[in-house]
Structure 1
Amino acid sequence: MSAHLTLGAPEHLDKLVGLVTAFHAEAGIEMTDEQRRNGLAPLLEGIPHGAAYLIGPPRAPIGYVVICFGWSVEFGGLDAIIDEIYVRPGVRGRGIASETLIALPRALAAGGLKAIHLEVDRTNKAALKVYTRAGFRPREDYMLMSRKL
């Protein structure tokens, strides 16, 4: 199984909504399909603030990753946060998420990206193992804080 990445396009919206719905059900995130569509559609239509990638064959993707772009003085330019990454349960444990998390930053670095960040539940040992294997490290004395508007 390969972590081949395809940049999401408008024709992928239905497939992505299905994958996002599955991830949200697993993670306990409550949203309507309309809210999911409204969050995904601009990414697929070329909004410059982020991108969605299908993992695996576009006709039958096995997962997805959404990244959002920002700017960091500390890191010297363009940075990104992995907003969501999901691999179907039936194909987990085969290195697909690790392969994705290694390939995507390399590809984005060629476009000028200086850093990529992600958020993880400190108690999720499996995710921590995958993220560490892909080169992500916790930042000493830092934690992500959020304020919902």
Structure 2
Amino acid sequence: MKVSLQSPSIESMPRLLELSKQMHDHEALSFDVEHVTSSFSYLIGNPAHGDVFLIALDQDGEQEIIGYVVLCYSFSIELGGQIAVIDQIFLSKDWRRQGVGSHVLPSIEAQANSRNCHAVILEVNIGNSGAREFYEQFDYMPRRQHCIMAKRLPR
């Protein structure tokens, strides 16, 4: 099994959107295909703001796109400068707990390091103990007493 991160192409956009829909359904989030397509297109066209990667699995000469990662770039005084934010990371249901994430996370960190990021941050559902334990294996630490809050602005 060989796992790699690939930049999406026009041909792979339908698969990326399919995976995004699966992620939204899994997280019980509303899915607006125009909004998601526009967001992916913006990041793909403006790499200073972030990167979109497909998670590709090569097995027995066959390649399958089994997930994706959205890595956005920001700045943190507390963390010492530019940071990477794993905005979304998703694997198809059949590939969870198969060791894929253990290949993907170091690649994401290497990408962040190549962009001179000082840290990588991510959000995990407090009730998702499996995901929390996975990230803790890679030295991600929960920030006690922190609550992420969001507000969508009108457009």
The TM-score normalised by the length of structure 2 is: 0.85
Letter in 2 for 1:132: E
- Any gaps of 5 or more consecutive residues in structure 2? none
Counterpart check, 1:94 vs 2:110: no
Deviations along 1:29-69, whole A, 9 cap, x unmatched? 11222221111111122342111111115963110010111
Moved beyond 6 Å, runs of 4+: none
Shifted more, 58-67 versus 72-81: the winner is 58-67
Q: Which residue of 2 aligns with 1:81?
A: 85
The aligned runs of 1:7-86 (5 Å cut-off) are 7-57=7-57, 60-86=64-90
Q: 1:107-136 CA deviation, whole Å, 9 max, x = no partner?
A: 321330111110111111111122112221
Deviations 1:56-85 (A, max 9, x none): 159631100101111112222111211111
> Where does residue 151 of structure 2 map in the other structure?
147
**Which one of the candidate residues 105, 108, 112 is aligned to 2:109?**
105
Partner SS for 2:2: coil
SS of 2:3's partner is: coil
Superposition RMSD in Å: 1.9
Q: What percent identity do the matched residue pairs reach? A: 28
**AA of the residue aligned to 1:94:** Q
Q: Residues of 2 paired with 1:17 and 1:143: CA distance?
A: 29
Which of the two has greater strand per residue? Answer: 2
Aligned length: 149
- Provide the residue aligned with 2:2 in structure 1: 2
